[in-house]
Amino acid sequence: MVLFLVGLVFAGVWGEREMKVKVFCPKTQLKMVARDVLEFYEVQDDYFIGAVKERQYQQLLSMGYKVEVLVLDMEEEANRNCPKEDFGRYHSYQEIMDTFALIANTYPDICLLDTIAVSPTGKYVIALKITKDPTVENYRPRLEWDGTTHGNENIGTEICWFFVRQLTENYGSDSLITYLVNTREIWIIPCVNPEGLINRTRGNSNGIDLNRDYGYAWNEESGADVPWSQPEIRGFRDFFQNRPFVMTMTYHSGTTSVMWPWSYSRIATYDSVAHSQLCQLYGSITGYPAYQISRGLYESQGTSTDFYYGAEGALGFAAEVASGQPPPQGQIDTICRANWTASKQWMIKGGFGLRGQITDSLTGLPVKRALVISDPTNWMVCTDTCGWFFKYVLPGTYTIKVMADGYETKTLTGIVVPNDTFVVVPIELKLDTTAPITGYKVTTWICKSPTGAGNTMGLFGLFRRDNRAFTLTARGMAVIEMSQPIINGAGTDFTVYSTSSKPCSVLVSTEWNGPWSFCAYGSGNIACDLADARVSLANFIRLIDCGQSYDLNAIEGTITNAPALILESQTVIDSPPGGNGDGRLDPGESADLILALRNAGRVAANDVGAVLHTDDQYVAVLDSTADFGDIMPDSVKSNFSDRFRITAALETPREHSAEMWLYLTGTGYSDSISFRVIVGELRMIDPIPDNSEPPLYWAYDEVDTLYSEHPVFDWVEIRNIGTRLNLGDDETRQVSLPSDFGPFAFYGQSYSSISVCSNGWIAPGYTSANMQNNTTLPNSSMPPLLAANWDDIDCRYGNNVWYYYDTTGHRFIIEWDSVHYYPGNSMPWDKFEIILFDTTLAGEDGNCKFLFQYLTANRPGTSATIGIQDHTKTKFIQALYNGSYHRAAAPWISGHAIKFSTDQPTGTFENGDIIDPMKLKINFLVNPVKDRAILGYTLKQVADVLLVVYDRCGRVVRRIDFGKQQPGSYQINLNLTDSKDKRLSQGVYWAKLMTGKAQATAKFVLMR
């Protein structure tokens, strides 16, 4: 049924529903609306068919386009064709899990079940490997099929299921199938997005479109801030790493087509002839039209096909197999059969072309990380862990170029590939000890301006310098995986070469997804020293473009014949006494620390000794030395039998990250490694820190009663007392703060006015922003933000928004009075307020405190954001986003209160009430008066006693070494001056008393 609706009001939640629409928008105007379209199904000169959210539908109407609604509610369609309760003839997540396990158990000689990812809510993404003797490496061409990346397109799961049954049940009886299973390695991934399948939604449970989350030519279309944001897709990256595929196919539905990359750009792939011929073949069997994704539909970024082809060298494909999402149950069988017949042809073709093993000419050992380029097509494939490569090419005569670090590049010419078969080309490489370490793979490419990308390719930035450049695009970013780790030696360790003189920042890491250490900034060719990044080794280089489209020619690293020790893992043993045995260092605990070191260098590290050190204000090292003995190249050793011992002060903020240094010495070797120990874990009863280091603002809620800053819910009703703003829908109004109230100080900025938005938030200062679509924080397109309930609220329904200045209470109150969620009367309402306190009640550093209070909880945050962000849009607290709470956030119930304050968490140890495991006790007998304070403590045994006074930023201002003291009670008459005898300025200080085995801390406030 085709509905024709224009501007009609629907029931249900507005804005979130996905619709399938036909929009009469000329192709020439498509660019203007393309960002709002979730997926295109058909693009013609005068119209397109696509999936849009209801909001975008409204927007298209308001832009004057005629819009025909083909499917009013795609989730409803998904439910109708595949009922959520029993899935009808479709298979549920549980059935997939059970049956695939059963198949793997029934056919162990040809099946192996693997898990490649776990979804945000703990659902498995499984992969079934089908090949003869699946538990051993077989050097067979790898082929992959997957389904249900979009949860409502689960016809893909049915197709995968059908393939698995065909391949297993007919193995041994059907000669073609037997041949395929014996000679190919076939991977079937029935459901990329288990949560979407279960919930009948396009995205996963985080609402992210997984087919926009892949990190090649990525650009924010997923709805997330970064590529690889979802665990499902990070799992795919890891699955493909070191497991090169010849071809991959991903199934979708919504229209019918079979397609090849690129998605992000209309430039042709180097394999475009093979790409299109294979799609023509597939289309001739299924009846699907064949085209390049970007040309047949529209450009989209962060897709699976671009990642498979661009980063991994596999011929990536995608097929849309029916117009329904999913299609009616009666069509399942026909669709499965057609795709099976076509895919069987691909399984045959996938074994044709070029293949061979690359080996070392002297040792005969496989060369694991070689790039193989065949001309024509000039695109790369990588060798697997056994040195094998497989490349599908059309019949013809080829030249093969093989490139590997540490070897001479080898070129073989005149290789003839006949029709419908494969040729084996064994290749021996000669060592070249002068060859540099080079880039081997593009792990991530953020491409902010695909039109500005020209015909650049990630491949152009790999291996050694040539005349080609990989252009990052303006404000783009790329992560290049090196074929071997670069080791910190004397001077320059690697050089980033460019074909032009534009600027770029260089960061390094040992992990593909960071954390990143800044190494260098420069223009053109950039010489980099790992010492500048304070790391001893790097496997991944991250280049961040500075706005001028850096042209990466190559990254070349020096081969260093030296040991390189890196920290492989850390283990905390906190058994009693002194610890609670949870494997974590908690505030007030002492624990053993075991470090495992890996030698990633090319030479053994002999007689390795280590000294552990920290300057952290909360963590101290009790036993700082350990011996590691000899560590051979590529092996790991720990100090299990000679452990370090560390301790954390009781007042350590939870999740405090303490920087530790390990100084290593060995025969002819010395280095230092920095790493972090995390103390404790935030509990719901702890405040939430912002992300500054150290934290500036903290969010205390009503359950954080251990802390003196915790709020007590105390509703202030200002209805009919204050001023009613009479805001319209999605309206923001500026309100000047009364001069008596003074400025509102927030993150060091002073604001004389605030902007109040109907959608549950205020912005300090002036903004015309009126965003109803809440997002995660920080959000760079939003102003500084105090979001009490950022959601789509229509305050024309209910009693609108009020403000009131309570002079005696030193507070300014903004109340959303019983306002309804969009679209109004039929929706629930909530009553909540924001209370700003003036500067007389500010925190110790002068920043204002403020409070969110919730009188009702009629729709407690299921689609809202609660949190704050500063004017730089980088510092933030997110207590809640769309139903998921920060681990330290209390739930929104009636009577919920959150107080934001820059006063640091104190409480449990205020009033001098600290008792640590060694019964060391410190307290202020006389609180500071003018320049003196009297401090008392008791020693149970002889100890060396040290007193250190810190300011609120953790800087040491005073240090007194009392030397050895006998057991007994002591009083210290403390002169409140710093080490230069200068009087301390007023504020908060910490006195920390330390003995060899214990420490205690007390806070004091100095007033003048």
Q: Which span sits near Zn ion by CB under 5 A: 148-156, 228-236, 757-765, 823-831? A: 148-156
Nearer to Zn ion, 252 or 921 (CB): 252
Nearer to Zn ion, 184 or 252 (CB): 252
Token reading at 854: 């919730």
> β-strand 353-360 against 422-424: which pairing, if any?
parallel
C-alpha span between 558 and 492 (Å, rounded): 8
Please, what is the minimum distance in Å from the beta carbon of residue 83 to Zn ion? 20
Determine if 200 is a binding residue for Zn ion (CB under 5 A): no
Nearer to Zn ion, 144 or 686 (CB): 144
Altogether, the residues listed in the chain come to a count of 1008
Please, what is the minimum distance in Å from the beta carbon of residue 780 to Zn ion? 28
Nearer to Zn ion, 153 or 616 (CB): 153
Task: Tell me, by CB under 5 A, how many residues bind Zn ion.
Answer: 3
Nearer to Zn ion, 252 or 896 (CB): 252
C-alpha span between 644 and 595 (Å, rounded): 9
Q: Which residue minimizes CB distance to Zn ion? A: 252
Please, what is the minimum distance in Å from the beta carbon of residue 151 to Zn ion? 9
Taking each helix axis from N to C end, the angle separating 175-183 and 155-169, rounded to the nearest 10 degrees, works out to 100
Q: Give, as ranges, the residues between 606 and 635 that touch Zn ion (CB under 5 A).
A: none
Q: Do 249 and 317 meet the contact criterion of CB atoms below 8 Å apart?
A: yes
Nearer to Zn ion, 252 or 542 (CB): 252
Please, what is the minimum distance in Å from the beta carbon of residue 252 to Zn ion? 3
Q: Which span sits near Zn ion by CB under 5 A: 112-120, 144-152, 501-509, 953-961? A: 144-152
Exposed/middle/buried for residue 402 (C-beta within 10 Å: 0-12, 13-18, 19+): buried
Please, what is the minimum distance in Å from the beta carbon of residue 73 to Zn ion? 17
Pick the closest to residue 830 from 803, 791, 865 (CA basis).
791
Exposed/middle/buried for residue 3 (C-beta within 10 Å: 0-12, 13-18, 19+): exposed
Contacting residues for 361 by C-beta, under 8 A, at least 6 apart: 428, 429, 430, 431
Please, what is the minimum distance in Å from the beta carbon of residue 620 to Zn ion? 55
Please, what is the minimum distance in Å from the beta carbon of residue 245 to Zn ion? 20
**What CA–CA distances, in Å, run from 101 to 126, 159, 378?**
10, 17, 41
What is the side-by-side strand order in the sheet with 932-939?
921-929, 932-939, 968-975
Please, what is the minimum distance in Å from the beta carbon of residue 153 to Zn ion? 5
C-alpha span between 866 and 892 (Å, rounded): 10
Please, what is the minimum distance in Å from the beta carbon of residue 453 to Zn ion? 24
Determine if 391 is a binding residue for Zn ion (CB under 5 A): no
Nearer to Zn ion, 41 or 900 (CB): 41
Q: Do 145 and 249 meet the contact criterion of CB atoms below 8 Å apart?
A: yes
Neighbours of 475 (CB within 10 A): 15
Nearer to Zn ion, 153 or 686 (CB): 153
b/e map 605-633, b = 16+ CB within 10 Å: beebebebebebbbbbbbebebebeebee
The mark string for 152-191 relative to Zn ion (x by CB under 5 A, - otherwise) is -x--------------------------------------
Determine if 22 is a binding residue for Zn ion (CB under 5 A): no
CA 504, 507, 508, 511 torsion-angle sign? negative
Q: Do 222 and 193 meet the contact criterion of CB atoms below 8 Å apart?
A: no
Q: What letter does residue 773 receive in the DSSP assignment?
A: S
- The β-bridge partners of 154 are none
Nearer to Zn ion, 152 or 759 (CB): 152
Cis check for the bond before 764: say yes or no (omega within 30 of 0).
no
- Residue 54: which H helix or E strand, with range? helix 54-62
Nearer to Zn ion, 261 or 563 (CB): 261
Nearer to Zn ion, 50 or 798 (CB): 50
Q: Which span sits near Zn ion by CB under 5 A: 143-151, 453-461, 740-748, 946-954? A: 143-151
Pick the closest to residue 374 from 411, 337, 327, 339 (CA basis).
411
Please, what is the minimum distance in Å from the beta carbon of residue 442 to Zn ion? 25
Nearer to Zn ion, 252 or 958 (CB): 252
Nearer to Zn ion, 153 or 195 (CB): 153
C-alpha span between 65 and 449 (Å, rounded): 27
Exposed/middle/buried for residue 817 (C-beta within 10 Å: 0-12, 13-18, 19+): buried
Pick the closest to residue 713 from 818, 851, 861 (CA basis).
851
> β-strand 590-599 against 551-557: which pairing, if any?
unpaired
Please, what is the minimum distance in Å from the beta carbon of residue 38 to Zn ion? 9
Please, what is the minimum distance in Å from the beta carbon of residue 893 to Zn ion? 39
Please, what is the minimum distance in Å from the beta carbon of residue 285 to Zn ion? 21
Phi, psi of 530 (to 5 degrees): -60, -25
Please, what is the minimum distance in Å from the beta carbon of residue 39 to Zn ion? 6
b/e map 8-39, b = 16+ CB within 10 Å: eeeeeebbebbbbbbbebeeeebeebbeebbb
- Residue 240: which H helix or E strand, with range? helix 231-240
Nearer to Zn ion, 74 or 544 (CB): 74
Nearer to Zn ion, 292 or 438 (CB): 292
Nearer to Zn ion, 300 or 617 (CB): 300
Taking each helix axis from N to C end, the angle separating 175-183 and 332-349, rounded to the nearest 10 degrees, works out to 60
Please, what is the minimum distance in Å from the beta carbon of residue 779 to Zn ion? 27
Please, what is the minimum distance in Å from the beta carbon of residue 43 to Zn ion? 15
CA 438, 440, 446, 450 torsion-angle sign? positive
Cis check for the bond before 326: say yes or no (omega within 30 of 0).
yes
Phi, psi of 343 (to 5 degrees): -70, -30
Q: Which span sits near Zn ion by CB under 5 A: 147-155, 276-284, 473-481, 579-587? A: 147-155
Determine if 441 is a binding residue for Zn ion (CB under 5 A): no
Nearer to Zn ion, 153 or 791 (CB): 153
Please, what is the minimum distance in Å from the beta carbon of residue 191 to Zn ion? 13
Nearer to Zn ion, 150 or 502 (CB): 150
Please, what is the minimum distance in Å from the beta carbon of residue 435 to Zn ion? 44
Q: Among 20, 22, 150, 200, which residue interacts with Zn ion (rule: CB under 5 A)?
A: 150
The mark string for 92-131 relative to Zn ion (x by CB under 5 A, - otherwise) is ----------------------------------------
Q: Where are the beta strands (DSSP E) in 760-885?
A: 761-764, 785-790, 793-794, 801-806, 811-821, 829-837, 850-854, 865-869, 876-881, 884-885
Q: Give, as ranges, the residues between 225 and 264 that touch Zn ion (CB under 5 A).
A: 252
Site residues (vs Zn ion, CB under 5 A): 150, 153, 252
